[in-house]
Amino acid sequence: MPGQPPAQGAPQFPQQPQPWQQQQTQYPYPGPPPVQQSFEPDWQQLADQREAQVRRKRLMTGLGIGVGVVVLGAGAAAVAVLSQKDTPDNKPVASQSASAPASPTGSAKPSGSASPGKQLPPAITAEALFADQSLNIGGHNYVRKSTTTDNPCWRATGAGLGDVLTNANCSQLMRGTYFSGNTAVTVGVAVFKSEADAKKVGSGMKGQIQPLFGKDNVGEFCRNVACSLTNRVEGRYVVFTVAGPISGSAGDQDPLAQSAGKELDGYFDQLLTKGA
């Protein structure tokens, strides 16, 4: 009957839980339940990493090629420099000095040299060769100070020139010293029996003549120091000069000494051309 309690002893049927009564999943830790993580790979990140690796590889390859080009260029430049050093035109020329065994080269005729107005006699002597007390060459005045004749020729030479003159049958060596300002120049003319003997000296040239000083108030110059030297073959003669400051200092790098030696060398070459 409605409103009456069920009869005792009647079976009890379990009631179905309502949806809002369903029991929630229990977790052993307090707080909200953990979020389920996804194990799917990050494709965008992997693509970025791959692209970065490709760029690094390209960069390293480019750097390697650039370094190789630089090395090859440096090697080519070094070969070019060495090739230039090996060519005859680039070989350094040793400076002429009093102590150097290498022979000084013959000088060209200077354009400013005065042309001698006289002609030498067939048998040339020191008196005839150095007869003029002063010479005006290229606007420079040269005053003769002292003269002498040496026989045998080797007595007035040094650094091996004596042997060269002796082997070529040098008959005499005439020397004269000139002053121009603070520069002193000794001119030497070696005489030979033939032009062939003179050319033999020119081809085997070494050493130098000794400067003429010690008399006629000429002090020491070009002694045990490097000085400016010239030599030239003219017919059966060989003309030498040694020039330097009258103070006795070195003259191989002195422009005044170099100019004086060349001017007197050119003058006596022309003088011997007329008398040869």
List, for residues 25-69, the tens digit of each pLDDT value: 454 445 455 444 445 556 566 667 777 777 777 767 766 666 555
Taking residue 252's Cβ as centre, other Cβ atoms within 10 Å add up to 21
Cβ atoms of residues 79 and 234 within 8 Å: no
Measured in degrees and rounded to the nearest 5, phi and psi for residue 195 equal -65, -35
| Pair of tokens at residue 18 | 């309502």
Cα separation of 141 and 219, whole Å?
Answer: 19
Query: What number is the average pLDDT over the span 121-147?
Result: 91
pLDDT of residue 224 exceeding 80, the answer is yes
Cα separation of 107 and 85, whole Å?
Answer: 26
Cβ atoms of residues 264 and 175 within 8 Å: no
Average pLDDT of the chain?
Answer: 75
pTM of the shown model: 0.60
pLDDT of residue 14 exceeding 60, the answer is no
* % the chain with pLDDT above 90: 53
Cα separation of 209 and 97, whole Å?
Answer: 12
> Bridge partners of 177?
146, 186
Task: Write out pLDDT tens, residues 155-213.
Answer: 999 999 999 999 999 999 999 999 999 999 999 999 999 999 999 999 999 999 999 99
